[in-house]
Amino acid sequence: MHLVWAPLGTAPLQRFLAAYGERDAGRAHRLTVVLNGFASRAQAAAHERLLAEVEHDALLLERPVQDLLAYRAAAVATSEPVACFVNSFSRPLVDGWLERLCAPLARRGVGAVGATATYESHLSSIEPRSPRAIADLARHALVFPRFPNPSLRTNAFAIAPARYVDLAPRRLHSKFAAHAFESGRRGLTAQLRRRGLRPLVAGRDGRTYEIADWPRSATFRAGGQANLLVADNRTDDWANADPARRDELTRMAWGTIL
């Protein structure tokens, strides 16, 4: 399930299709392109021309929604037992990427598998130096746990669609709400763990990583990201940063664990 967000234009889709075409997914599948933010099929004509050479299904959403709600709409629409959701900026990097993400779901007790994860907390970015900042901190403290806050990133992850529909909210009215579902106290990872289900990270080495091993998995903002399966704009930010900025981003994700 690849999400196409209209305001980004065609460039992200071009990059995804180039990478998708170069890499063997390693698993029989059907590509579904989720068209989000288009008023009509005619408005998506340029994107559909790019897709003409690729076997796929297209799902046109009736109205623009947050990424995580677009995933939910796609999950509702499919009858497949397993889905892999990838956002507009995601690009597979290695052969077998889809198999590595989806196969671990067959194991007992596994709830979702991501290409990346983090311990970051949105609380860490707020410095209470003004009354408004103090109010923001109080609001965030109600929603987000303190660091370390283990959360799968939703740039690329595999899950049973029925499970995602069960866990995801029907409405997300703001980016704050979207962040809350991704990494908040009632977010995707937190809900899985409360149900006794394990969130795993999959690496290009064919291994999966439990929460305690995420910082050393070399998939996100550490270890040269040498074990990364699916890149996105955030992994690109780290890869393209100077050493000082890399260190800062690594501390945000993993603290002083590394």
Q: Is the pLDDT of residue 173 over 60?
A: yes
If one compares 133 and 137, the residue with the highest pLDDT of the two is 137
Average pLDDT over residues 42-57: 96
pLDDT digit string, tens, across residues 55-106: 999 999 999 999 999 999 999 999 999 999 999 999 999 999 999 999 999 9
Question: How far is the CA of 95 from the CAs of 4, 90, 116, in angstroms?
Answer: 23, 15, 17
Residue-level pLDDT at 130: 53
Q: Which domains are seen in the chain, by residue range?
A: 2-254 (3.90.550)
Confidence of residue 136 (pLDDT cuts 50, 70, 90): low
pLDDT of res. 132: 62
> How far apart (Å, rounded) are the C-alpha atoms in residues 84 and 191?
19
Give the model's pLDDT for residue 133: 53
In the predicted structure, residue 41 carries a pLDDT above the cut 70: yes
Please write the tens of the pLDDT for every residue from 142-162. 888 999 999 999 999 999 999
Task: Band the pLDDT of 40: cuts 50, 70, 90.
Answer: very high
Q: What is the mean pLDDT of residues 239-258?
A: 94
Classify the C-alpha dihedral 212-81-44-67 as positive or negative: negative
Residue 128 has pLDDT above 70, yes or no: no
Spatial separation of the C-alpha atoms in residues 248 and 147, rounded to whole Å = 15
* CB-based contact 151:182 (threshold 8 Å): yes
Distance, in Å, from the CA atom of 39 to the CA atom of 60, rounded to the nearest integer, reads 9
